[in-house]
Structure 1
């Protein structure tokens, strides 16, 4: 029997202990479509690779794991955040298992995304929703039949070139045609993770920046009876938080009755829920029903305060209505996410500033998330980008670079102005992983440059490691070993290029600018990726980071510390005890380096004092137990 392994790589989190939110719903849905119903494909066995594997393993380890059984087929779900790593994984699987056919799909895979289509390593690209055509495709592949009559695909020719996409088949099938993967066994509920589900596909709104109208313009809903049956099943399986992926949750017919039915199932309040709404039609009565049903978080998209811009991007709506509904929901005790997009066609820097002030004046500033426009594949905005005068990255995150009303600098300035007005950072800080090594672990390696030979260190650095790991360099004189260090770093980067890696230099002496610049150049020598581009406007790299750790009691001059305290090339930490960190907690990360606190047996009062006084991102721990506690308890990096 032939096998297909379906894989979804996670959103790379900002911290080792942050949740990935990885729920391979698409993979599970495709697997279900193959093995259910009258046309069950009995000659193919589907497997969804568990998030516990994809979230933990690094590039080399994961590709070896998948390729080791030499599956006939591998399918990869491509999203904004995992596209480049998925394509790298495809190439590595091909190297290790040349006969395996690689399929890619997801919102990134479209005829208007040349970045994807020019890549190699995969055999077939599938666009749009696929449950209705996937069985047909896989039947043809298993039976080695021609692919010429299969809709929504492009495949690689014998010459190695990708052909054009075949005829597009609209996804108009009822959602009841294919069972939920939670009921077929391809996805299991993990109470520690959110549980994702769809009860609507398609969207009545036609926002030009959004993929949903392209995916399906017809609103297809899972009826109330079937949805309640699914929710009841998820509850029985232990679900704690339901995340509805419906494009606009309150667009379904009979919405009030739907909420009443959910409230009945969730009368004990076992589950909390999240969804995205349009403000139109939300009344105080409806807000009360949302709360009663268990919704503790709601997202509302204002997008712009400029009504002409809202018309231009076919969002429409009224900012005043958004604010009114936001206050009604907040009055019910529901937390909010309020969206403002920077760089929409028609908007100016003044509109962004007015938008932030608008939220502040309505007392809603704490919930605002402002972010730059991404010109996504498959959207009307990408189709009209040239006409609109939009320049954007051709690679993820496809962020707008310039518009007729925004220069590149003005886009950055608007983002930083929003942060100044809201008095907080709007994106997550790339937190280094500095915890102590554990026996048998594969998330930290220590390279002793003085006591081990170059070949020993090179062998160690080529070991497959976890998705996020640290590489520690130890030496009494780093300056004389820069050639060796650069060589070792390149070997590590080549082994796991898309892993999140912290390169740590523990020193009791100041490091020269020449050395630091050379190491930074080596670290950034690989081609850029989504993670390295996401915070490029801050000169921060979420993929590969360099850390200089000053050893406890080191006598490095204060002028060197001051000079390098805000260096964008690396993070500066000082090893210290909890008592030492508390003695100057307010200055950590400002006048003083970040604190790397050794030990784990802290007085509860000291712990609480540190939480109150220090910037939480300016504190890290050698203890895994304490680092995890800080990440979850103080930084809020949990799932449920």
Structure 2
């Protein structure tokens, strides 16, 4: 029997204990298509890699797992955040299992994305909605026939080069053609995770920066009875938060009747819901029904205050209408996400700031999120980028780096000005893994020259977790620099896409130049989405450095202040000292790494009320996870 393994890697979260949000819906839909088209009966064994596995395991572990038993086929779903790592794993699987056919698909796979098409390690690329194409492709491969006659795919030739894409064909199958992958058992319903679902494909809006219009402006909907059956089943399976992926949730025909049906299913309000809506058509009555249905978060995209810009990018709409709809929703206790994009063609830095002031003027400033434009594959904006004078990164996140009205400097400065006005950071803050080792997970490595090491040099070549910390301990760190750097390179070679926190744990002050040397080591590792996404801040989400000051050891205050200009600094302390210094942590005083194992409820309460939450971390893993989930909000509940 032939084996197919489908893999969808997670969004890398800001900390090891944050929920990834990874729900392999696309992979599950492909598995369903193979089943419904009878491929199991024709000898195909189907597996969707469990998100609990992809959330936890590092590159080598995953490559070994995927290549185990040399499956005939492996499929990767490529998204903005996982493309480079997926392509790396494809190469690694190919090395371990040369006869495995590697298939890739997803929004990143398009004829206009030379970055993906120039990569090696995969055999066939599939673009667009893939259910019908994918099933036909697998049947063709099982029969050992030539797949190039099928639409929407490119095949690697005998010369190692990708051939051209076959003619494009838009999907037209009814959404009722395939049951939900949750109900078919390919994707677990996990109450601690959001449950993602689609009830509409296609989008009537034609926003040039968005991928959705590529599929079709004809809406294909899951009818109300079928949707209600799905929601009822998901509720019975324990779903707590439903995230509707419909491009524009309120564009579906019969939207009001649709909400009435959801209200009946969720009358006890045990499920919360999220959707992205257009402001047009939101009335007081619709707002009431959204609240009754259980929608506690809604996203409205204004994108720009400049109406000429909105026309230019085919967003159209009215800022005034967005504010009116947002006010109606907020009045009913619904949390909002109000979008503004930096760098749209025609916009200036002043337009962005005026957009923020517009929302403040309507009492909506707390809900605003501002982010740089990305020139995504498959969008009209990418096609017209040269004409529009848009310069952008050729690799994920494809962020715009220059426009006729924005220099590289003004793009960054506009983001920082936005944060100053909104009085909050708009990106999630990277948080280092400073917890003690877990005997069941290889995510903490320690290097202590002159001492009995838990891990010898050979241990650094072991397959680690997706997020690891490496503790460099020593009286004088510089004395062991070359040996440590050698082991660091071994780790990077083994798991190059593992988020790595390098924890400096010295007995005496070191020369700040050491931080520069470590950063130079980081630069030898190929860049990725995670290392680029906060590059405009001078931050590397993939490889971070943090200093931990051991308890009972004194360091000059001037030296600590100098190091804090470059990297985060934490002082080990007990509950009592941390709670006494709560208001100073992360400000006048370094952050706290609380080494006490048992919970101190009164100290927890004082830290919760008075400390910057990012300045508090725990050696105990259970306490650290609880702080991340309950205080920082990194859970999906």
TM-score of the aligned structures, taking structure 1 as reference length: 0.98
Deviation at 1:476, TM superposition (A): 2.1
Residues 448, 457 of structure 1: 8 Å contact kept: no
1:612 and 2:591 aligned: no
**Equivalent in the alignment of 1:629:** 626
Secondary structure of 1:370 counterpart:
strand
Secondary structure of 1:502 counterpart:
strand
Residues 349, 406 of structure 1: 8 Å contact kept: yes
**Equivalent in the alignment of 1:524:** 523
**Equivalent in the alignment of 1:639:** 636
Kindly provide the CA deviation profile for residues 347-370 of structure 1, in whole angstroms up to 9, marking residues without a partner as x.
Answer: 000001101111111111111110
* Counterpart Cα distance in 1 of 2:452 and 2:102: 41
Residues 172, 218 of structure 1: 8 Å contact kept: no
* Counterpart Cα distance in 2 of 1:627 and 1:359: 36
* Counterpart Cα distance in 1 of 2:581 and 2:244: 45
Residues 207, 213 of structure 2: 8 Å contact kept: yes
Kindly provide the CA deviation profile for residues 581-613 of structure 1, in whole angstroms up to 9, marking residues without a partner as x.
Answer: 223222222222221111133432221111111
Deviates more, 1:13-22 or 1:576-585: 576-585
Secondary structure of 1:93 counterpart:
helix
1:279 and 2:285 aligned: no
Kindly provide the CA deviation profile for residues 387-426 of structure 1, in whole angstroms up to 9, marking residues without a partner as x.
Answer: 0000000000000000000001101111011100010000
Residues 79, 107 of structure 2: 8 Å contact kept: yes
* Counterpart Cα distance in 1 of 2:8 and 2:391: 30
Kindly provide the CA deviation profile for residues 499-551 of structure 1, in whole angstroms up to 9, marking residues without a partner as x.
Answer: 11111121121111332221221123211110011111111111111121111
Residues 449, 457 of structure 1: 8 Å contact kept: no
Secondary structure of 1:181 counterpart:
coil
* Counterpart Cα distance in 2 of 1:513 and 1:562: 11
Deviation at 1:290, TM superposition (A): 0.7
Kindly provide the CA deviation profile for residues 312-363 of structure 1, in whole angstroms up to 9, marking residues without a partner as x.
Answer: 0000000011011001001111111111101100000000110111111111
* Counterpart Cα distance in 1 of 2:617 and 2:354: 37
* Counterpart Cα distance in 2 of 1:439 and 1:601: 19
* Counterpart Cα distance in 1 of 2:31 and 2:224: 24
Note the 1:193-592 alignment, pairs <5 A.
Answer: 193-451=193-451, 457-567=456-566, 570-592=567-589
* Counterpart Cα distance in 2 of 1:115 and 1:592: 45
Secondary structure of 1:633 counterpart:
helix
**Equivalent in the alignment of 1:50:** 50
**Equivalent in the alignment of 1:36:** 36
Unaligned stretches of 5+ residues in structure 1: none
Q: CA RMSD in A?
A: 1.4
Deviation at 1:450, TM superposition (A): 1.6
* Counterpart Cα distance in 2 of 1:390 and 1:246: 29
Kindly provide the CA deviation profile for residues 113-153 of structure 1, in whole angstroms up to 9, marking residues without a partner as x.
Answer: 01101100111110010112111100111111012211111
TM-score of the aligned structures, taking structure 2 as reference length: 0.98
Kindly provide the CA deviation profile for residues 52-88 of structure 1, in whole angstroms up to 9, marking residues without a partner as x.
Answer: 1111100001100111121000000000000011011
Deviates more, 1:183-192 or 1:399-408: 183-192
Residues 18, 637 of structure 1: 8 Å contact kept: yes
Deviates more, 1:357-366 or 1:78-87: 357-366
Deviates more, 1:605-614 or 1:99-108: 605-614
* Counterpart Cα distance in 1 of 2:47 and 2:38: 20
**Equivalent in the alignment of 2:102:** 102
1:165 and 2:162 aligned: no
Residues 4, 71 of structure 1: 8 Å contact kept: yes
* Counterpart Cα distance in 2 of 1:345 and 1:332: 35
Deviates more, 1:30-39 or 1:329-338: 30-39
**Equivalent in the alignment of 2:84:** 84
What is the aligned length?
Answer: 637
Note the 1:105-184 alignment, pairs <5 A.
Answer: 105-184=105-184
Kindly provide the CA deviation profile for residues 417-456 of structure 1, in whole angstroms up to 9, marking residues without a partner as x.
Answer: 11000100001001001101132431112222223589x7
* Counterpart Cα distance in 1 of 2:503 and 2:157: 46
Residues 561, 592 of structure 1: 8 Å contact kept: no
Deviation at 1:580, TM superposition (A): 1.9
Deviation at 1:40, TM superposition (A): 6.4
1:67 and 2:67 aligned: yes
Secondary structure of 1:481 counterpart:
helix
* Counterpart Cα distance in 2 of 1:576 and 1:240: 38
**Equivalent in the alignment of 1:8:** 8
Secondary structure of 1:474 counterpart:
strand
Secondary structure of 2:275 counterpart:
strand
* Counterpart Cα distance in 1 of 2:114 and 2:176: 34
Kindly provide the CA deviation profile for residues 148-185 of structure 1, in whole angstroms up to 9, marking residues without a partner as x.
Answer: 21111111111101111111111111111111111222
Deviation at 1:215, TM superposition (A): 2.2
**Equivalent in the alignment of 1:93:** 93
Deviation at 1:203, TM superposition (A): 0.1
Unaligned stretches of 5+ residues in structure 2: none
* Counterpart Cα distance in 1 of 2:507 and 2:589: 16
Residues 524, 544 of structure 1: 8 Å contact kept: no
